[in-house]
Amino acid sequence: MVLATSSTGAPLHPPTGTLLSLGHPGGGRLAPMSQVSFGARAPYALPPLPYGETELEPVISARTLGFHHGRHHQGYLTTLNRLLAGDPLGALPLVRVIRETAEDPARTAIFDNAAQVWNHSFYWYCLRRGGGGQPAGRLAALIDRSFGSFAAFQQRFAAAAMSQFGSGWAWLCEEGGRLLVLRTANAETPIAFAGINPLLTIDVWEHAYYLDYQNRRADHVNAVIGQLLNWQFAELNLPPENPAQPAMVAALPQTASPLAYFDPRVSPGATTGSYLSRLARRL
Ligand SMILES: [Fe+2]
């Protein structure tokens, strides 16, 4: 395992904590979440991909994945760390940084880069070799109840990804026991809104697919939905059915695991109606 390091070469927050295996039947194995180096406070470290760069081929090439993770994700992280150097916001967990800056026009740059760091860290786990297909159990029931059928969900999710004008993201989220499909522009993210739990996302920035698909975003989106979506990860992001029994996610040491950044419940920071309104106008 390669530990992330700061620009000076010093190790950043070596990961510790409970192992969480997201193994899959395709023969490969996603790394335990706790092995993803991701600093609890700024300066944040780039989490390694939970699979090899070639493992998502042919849907996503190693070249695309290498640039996407090593240049784009790293770029957001580098900028964020620079912006937070000496800023009290840097003492907060990443989700709190996102929520504290979501409505602050003076801190748009911090919000954009923090949100993109979180969005990409989440996105990598939304994909897996041998993914796609349909979820089972509670998630399948929620999809049926919320959308009518899996086919109807799939159609709506694909439409959100394809209809996002310009750069952005398509999301499957949970809110109050029901699922919803959202699309957000640029860096905007449902994690900024307390009460919405992101389950899955697809990156529809051109950097996510242009080397492989050029302008054919629909081909990329359909291939990702059909072959790569990681339904195990989506199910992990569901809040517990019984709040008295914390989910595996909530039970993990929050400062030692990147799940602290994936789980909005650990950072119920303030987001107000105006952010939701801004987000909702884009749906
Ligand atoms: Fe991206």
Q: Give the residue extent of every domain in the chain.
A: 38-125, 137-280
Other CB atoms within a 10 A radius of the CB of residue 45 amount to 23
Q: Of 217, 25, 227, whose CA–CA distance to 126 is shortest?
A: 227
Our measurement of the distance from residue 146's CA atom to the centroid of its chain's CA atoms, rounded to an integer in Å, reads: 22
**Global pTM value:** 0.77
38 CA → ligand 1 middle, Å: 18
pLDDT at site 164:
87
Which stretch, 16-20, 189-193, 229-233, has highest mean pLDDT?
Answer: 229-233
203 CA → ligand 1 middle, Å: 6
In the block, which residue shows the tokens 């409505």?
103
Task: Put residue 161 in one of left, alpha, beta given phi > 0 → left and psi -120 to 50 → alpha.
Answer: alpha
**Cα separation of 14 and 8, whole Å?**
15
Q: Do domains 38-125 and 137-280 have the same CATH topology?
A: no
Range 38-125 has CATH code 1.10.287.990: yes
46-50, 61-65, 143-147, 248-252: which range is least confident on average? 248-252
- Mind listing the pLDDT tens digit for each residue in 157-199? 999 999 988 999 999 999 888 899 998 999 999 988 877 889 9
**Cα separation of 155 and 90, whole Å?**
40
20 CA → ligand 1 middle, Å: 25
pLDDT at site 275:
44
pLDDT at site 40:
56
242 CA → ligand 1 middle, Å: 34
Positive or negative torsion for Cα 78, 81, 85, 87? positive
- Mind listing the pLDDT tens digit for each residue in 251-266? 333 333 333 333 333 3
241 CA → ligand 1 middle, Å: 32
Report helix, strand and coil shares of the chain as percent, to nearest 5. Answer: 45, 10, 45
Compute the CA torsion angle 88, 93, 99, 101 (nearest 10 deg). 30
pLDDT at 119 over 50: yes
pLDDT at site 126:
95
Out of 3.30.420.40, 3.55.40.20, 3.30.70.360, 3.30.70.141, the CATH code matching 137-280 is 3.55.40.20
281 CA → ligand 1 middle, Å: 22
